[in-house]
Amino acid sequence: MENISVLQLGKNAKAVETILAAASPKAKNDALAAIADALIARTDEILAANAKDLEAAQANHMSKAMQDRLLLTPQRIAGIADGVRKLISLDEVVGKVEEGFVRPNGLRIQKTRVPLGVIGIIFESRPNVTVDAATLCLKAGNCVILRGGKEAFSSNVCLTNVMREALAASGLPADAVQLVMDPTRESANALMKLSGYLDVLIPRGGAGLIRVVVENATVPVIETGTGNCHVYVDASADLAMAVDIINNGKTQRPSVCNAVESVLIHRDVAAVLLPMLKAKLDEHSVVLHGCEGTAAILGECVIPADDADYATEYLDYQLAVKLVDSLDEAMAHIKQYGTRHSECIVTRSLENAERFQREVDAAAVYVNASTRFTDGGEFGFGAEIGISTQKLHARGPMGLAELTTVKYLINGSGQIR
Amino acid sequence: MENISVLQLGKNAKAVETILAAASPKAKNDALAAIADALIARTDEILAANAKDLEAAQANHMSKAMQDRLLLTPQRIAGIADGVRKLISLDEVVGKVEEGFVRPNGLRIQKTRVPLGVIGIIFESRPNVTVDAATLCLKAGNCVILRGGKEAFSSNVCLTNVMREALAASGLPADAVQLVMDPTRESANALMKLSGYLDVLIPRGGAGLIRVVVENATVPVIETGTGNCHVYVDASADLAMAVDIINNGKTQRPSVCNAVESVLIHRDVAAVLLPMLKAKLDEHSVVLHGCEGTAAILGECVIPADDADYATEYLDYQLAVKLVDSLDEAMAHIKQYGTRHSECIVTRSLENAERFQREVDAAAVYVNASTRFTDGGEFGFGAEIGISTQKLHARGPMGLAELTTVKYLINGSGQIR
């Protein structure tokens, strides 16, 4: 792609959005198959582009973990292509009739799903997001403008060209997928203010990126992914189950947004539960930040916890622990510190389970299961563009339906008021 | 209500939102009944407050039309109370299960409707909105912060107190309904920036108000109501039907957002249709702004139309008319000038009807019916807080469901990943 302004990208996308919106399921699926095939056929070219990014990363002393996120391999490219092929088998969402009814005057009204139009994605240095996000937008009939991090720029250019050429070869407009060719703060800001051209902007990345986008955007934004998730262990809980759920939420993949960051334990069961929990978490050397009651039971291995701990998304092998006197105290704590992502109660009490699910305000509220299940794949959506932690439009894992809006189709025979 | 800061109103609302969200259908309906009864019982007090606003309006030489919008009468108050009673019979929306499924691991997942939380409404000088909007928010389990126009301030204070006292008497928190006691530009701005306290802000009023809110708000906004609506008369149309639909759209209530502002006529039927249309519209002395082709047929009664006419929401007995050569030209015109509200094709062609409904991007796309039906009442929603012309969250008439969000409830028996 040439280096053209963000405004021009918006104009290019708007010029073809109607074609994408009207594209048949077969046309879109053929294009997705062409993209998957091209990713495999052009693996060497993609790896060569990726090598340039890695070389720059090494020269800039990027951390090994970050370099690994940037790295593409033949296996990883095959995995990306597989992800694209999986989209083909998902049910078509455009045109789905959500509701249909006939009014007393004979008007037939159908509420149908239609694409949003043009979607902007701002993301950091994972080149797989370039393809994952673009193809999910395409499957839902949208155009996409991608603005990836500068660390993955060479990879992103190559991947975008592969997708654009595959689109064109399969008869859909190449401008359905565009990349911002100037990965600077200025271009990110321009995208945030591209009113009239972007129907929604989705930031994918860390809390810092998301905050900047939410605070600065004039286009509609869907906020994703900050998760300060809690497990509350009720006095009636199955304590072995509580240990498993906390351990899974904390240690199975600590860097993700649905990992557990704080545990609230009813004081009546703390003396029994805490030693069991510590023994399990010690297998992963989890550091505990606890209240006075926790320290009184577990001793000096507990680092004293303060407000900052309860507000922290550690994304690491660290866990805050607080003893509480009641379900009400637990829910008040969650209301104060939670980020409305995923919250869990472990209990045998029907009354407490129902109160927790009714009164806790979050995208996903669990009874007796790990918060790690808040995920499009685990929910059975087949694909996911992120997890919304806002209340408007989409909440929780966002699949294809969340990349669409609705349109009312009204058919009459001359009705007037 | 005391004169407290907008921030404090936000804190007050957040302090009671959980109570409203968990309130039973009966508790909410009892409160609505108490409000309706109090509006009738305290009619004299409300009229006295309204008289102060009218006195000020007269002193400020407010137009008669505006004074009429401000005026309350015993009949109008009874009408407002009736509107509140109608809400009681609507189905409860909070807790409605939108989807429910079981995953292979046994997790049971339910996507349920929950209140948004705290809703802000900014509106102009119609005191009936104070009650209509507040009670619709309450029925959906939300708290509401009202910021009405200064012209209706005395009426709004009285109506808000009536509602707050009825709420308290029926056992729900008075702070579920609050009024900004300082109807200045500063308080409107503060409301637009009340992040963390307002879950959504809905402006109700003219295009100017809505633009200011959309441009300045940092809280989520639902844009309502700008409607530059078109009727396209296809070459195959039933011309008598076309005349009825255009006449209804233009003259039945010209000041509303779903009124017709521009007519696009296929050139092949213009010579027959235009004289029929003009004869009908002359009954309401509708002024025509037309293209050259229109003027060539109707003569000098046609005012030459320019781009500004096609972009104008007249909200009056004025209509823009343009001849087109094809459905494609009509759809391109609608894409350029439309506001994505309501668009209509009059046709006998199945192919053209389907293309128009598929390709025109608007909240409501009609075949052979008046655009005046884009309305919560006409759609059978029972009540309406406005008509969304944006794509995120809600599109078209917004009823109770659009004043809610969803929450996933997940029930397991110890599942972990």
Question: How many angstroms separate the CA atoms of A88 and A400, rounded?
Answer: 12
pLDDT of residue A255: 87
Where helices occur in B193-291 by DSSP H, the ranges are 207-216, 239-251, 267-282
pLDDT of residue B223: 87
Give me the average pLDDT of each 10-residue run along chain B (417 residues).
84 95 96 98 98 96 89 96 95 96 97 97 90 96 96 97 98 98 92 93 86 85 90 98 98 93 98 98 97 97 96 95 98 95 98 96 97 94 88 94 97 98
Q: Is A226 left (phi over 0), alpha (psi -120 to 50) or beta?
A: beta
pTM for this entry: 0.91
Tell me if A180 sits within 8 A of A6, measured CB to CB: yes
In chain A, the largest separation of any two C-alpha atoms, in whole Å, equals 80
Interchain contact, A415 vs B358, CB within 8 Å: no
- Best of B113, B408, B411, B413 to substitute, by most chain A Cβ atoms within 10 angstroms, is B408
Interchain contact, A406 vs B390, CB within 8 Å: no
Task: Tell me the chain A residues in contact with residue B101 when contact means C-beta distances shorter than 8 Å.
Answer: 380
Which chain A residue shows the shortest CA-CA distance from B406? A395
Tell me if B276 sits within 8 A of B243, measured CB to CB: yes
Least Cα distance to A129 among A153, A150, A161, A156 occurs for A156
Interchain contact, A252 vs B416, CB within 8 Å: yes
What is the tens place of the pLDDT at every residue in A322-368?
999 999 999 999 999 999 999 999 999 999 999 999 999 999 999 99
pLDDT of residue A383: 80
**What is each CA distance from A39 to A33, A36, A72, A144, B60, in whole angstroms?**
10, 5, 12, 18, 70
Give me the average pLDDT of each 10-residue run along chain A (417 residues).
84 95 96 98 98 96 89 96 95 96 97 97 90 96 96 97 98 98 92 93 86 85 90 98 98 93 98 98 97 96 96 95 98 95 98 96 97 94 88 94 97 98
Q: How would you label A126-142 residue by residue, b for 16+ Cβ within 10 Å and e otherwise?
A: bbbbbbbbbbbbbbbbb
Residue B94 is given by DSSP the state: T
Least Cα distance to B196 among B389, B392, B17, B398 occurs for B17
Q: B270: number of CA atoms within 13 Å, CB side?
A: 22
CA-based nearest distance A250→chain B, Å: 11
* 3-state secondary structure at position B187: helix
Which one of A241, A369, A410 has the shortest CB-CB distance to B364?
A: A410
What is the tens place of the pLDDT at every residue in B121-160?
999 878 999 999 999 999 999 999 999 999 999 999 999 9
Interchain contact, B369 vs A220, CB within 8 Å: no
pLDDT of residue B25: 97
Backbone angles phi, psi at A391, to 5 degrees: -100, -25
Interchain contact, B416 vs A367, CB within 8 Å: no
What is the tens place of the pLDDT at every residue in B72-111?
999 999 999 999 999 999 999 999 999 999 999 999 999 9
pLDDT of residue A3: 66
CA-based nearest distance A304→chain B, Å: 29
Interchain contact, B373 vs A417, CB within 8 Å: yes
pLDDT of residue A1: 59
Which one of A117, A247, A416 has the shortest CB-CB distance to B244?
A: A416
Question: How many angstroms separate the CA atoms of B393 and B162, rounded?
Answer: 32
